[in-house]
Amino acid sequence: RVFDRKRQVLVLNYDELKSDPDTFFGRIRTFLGLSSLQPLSSEEGFSEEQEEAINNQSVDIARETVPEENSVPCEQKQARPFCGETYEKLRKLYSKTNKQFYDLLEANPGPEMEQRPFPRFSTTECVEDDKR
């Protein structure tokens, strides 16, 4: 083994970031031993000026990092479910690996703040879209 699963690896679920960011970031803080530090959002303690400065800095970093030709306008960033042959190929390609991933998490439990059992990857309802 290269890493100590309980002390060096925290597996997180992206869906939780979207649905419950406070819990998501709480897991990270606890894992890093930072749970008593200053909160991460304005609702928990940052002033509007601090939050604006953080957001502006993030935008500046993104502008410097991502070339203009690689950026996508916000209105085009909405991810949509996809269907058909590509979906089936990817599902078949990753089904065995996904199972191995879940088996690994089950056999080697992580730190106590990690979700248990770890949520399965969700599948989306297939909606055909001719506009792609």
Query: How many domains is the chain partitioned into structurally?
Result: 2
- Mean pLDDT of the 63-90 span: 69
In one-letter notation, the amino acid at residue 101 is F
CB burial of residue 58 (10 Å; 0-12, 13-18, 19+): exposed
101 and 47 co-located in one domain: no
**46 and 13, same structural domain?**
no
Q: Which residues form the domain of 113? A: 1-37+79-132
pLDDT at 132: 44
pLDDT over 80 at 63, yes or no: no
Could you report the per-residue pLDDT of 35-51, keeping only the tens digit for each? Answer: 555 555 545 556 677 66
- How far CA 60 is from CA of 45, 64, 119, in Å, comes to 23, 6, 34
Question: Looking at per-residue confidence, does 126 or 97 come out higher?
Answer: 97
Q: What is the pLDDT of residue 42?
A: 44
Q: In whole angstroms, give the CA distance from residue 129 to residue 132.
A: 7
For residues 128 and 93, membership in a common domain is answered with yes
Number of CB atoms found within 10 A of residue 27's CB? 22
Q: Tell me, what's the pLDDT at 93?
A: 93
Highest mean pLDDT among 35-39, 82-86, 91-95: 91-95
Residue 44 has what pLDDT?
57
pTM for this model (two decimals): 0.55
Q: Considering the chain, what percentage of its residues have pLDDT values greater than 70?
A: 57
Does one domain contain both 97 and 132?
yes
- Range scoring the smallest mean pLDDT among 2-6, 11-15, 93-97, 102-106: 2-6
Q: Are residues 89 and 59 in the same domain?
A: no
| Res 70 pLDDT > 60 | yes
